[in-house]
Structure 1
Amino acid sequence: MPVSPALPELHARIVAALTEARRDAKLRQVDLAKRLGWQQAYVSRYETGERMLAVDEYVAVARAIGVDPLAVLAQVLDDENRATN
Structure 2
Amino acid sequence: MAVEQLIEARKAKGLTQRDVAARLSKPPSFVAKIEVGERRVDIIEFIAIARAIGTPEMNLLQALLSSLPAVLEI
Q: TM-score, normalised by structure 2?
A: 0.84
Aligned residues: 69
| CA gap 1:80/1:41 in 2 versus in 1, 3 angstroms | closer
Structure with the larger helix share: 1
Measured after TM superposition, the shift of residue 54 of structure 1 is 1.1
CA distance in 1, matches of 2:51, 2:7: 13
Is 2:31 aligned against 1:43? yes
Aligned sequence identity (%)? 36
Give me the CA root mean square deviation.
1.4
Q: TM-score, normalised by structure 1?
A: 0.74
Partner of 2:19: 31
Name the structure, 1 or 2, with higher relative contact order (CA <8 Å, separation 6+). Answer: 2
Is 2:4 aligned against 1:16? yes
Measured after TM superposition, the shift of residue 73 of structure 1 is 1.2
| Matching residue's letter, 1:36 | L
Partner of 1:9: none
CA distance in 2, matches of 1:58, 1:46: 10
